[in-house]
Amino acid sequence: MDFHLIFRERLRSLRKEKKETQVQVANALSISDRHYQKFESGANLPSFENLWALADHFGVSVDYLMGRSEKRL
């Protein structure tokens, strides 16, 4: 199972579900838009702090975001 691919796909899907741009999500996390874009492209994985912030922002568990669970919460 490719957790990097699952993470990228879930991140993009959750963002689109909320009808947000990459810039909006980056601003919500107080990171640069380029930094966030690297998460969605798979160039970088988030730090623990950013991973928790992403999960909180999208209202899902870290396990769901990382592909360890199919349950969102």
Per-residue pLDDT reduced to its tens digit, 58-73: 999 999 999 999 999 9
Summary mean pLDDT of the chain: 97
Q: What is the CATH number of the domain that holds 59?
A: 1.10.260.40
Please state the domain count of the chain.
1
Residue 17 lies in a domain: yes
Range of 36's domain?
A: 3-65
CA 66 to chain centre: 9
Kindly tell me the burial class for residue 22, based on how many C-beta atoms sit within 10 Å of its own C-beta (0-12, 13-18, 19 or more).
middle
If one counts every other C-beta atom within 10 angstroms of the C-beta of residue 26, the result is 18
pLDDT in tens, the chain (73 residues): 799 999 999 999 999 999 999 999 999 999 999 999 999 999 999 999 999 999 999 999 999 999 999 999 9
Residue 47 lies in a domain: yes
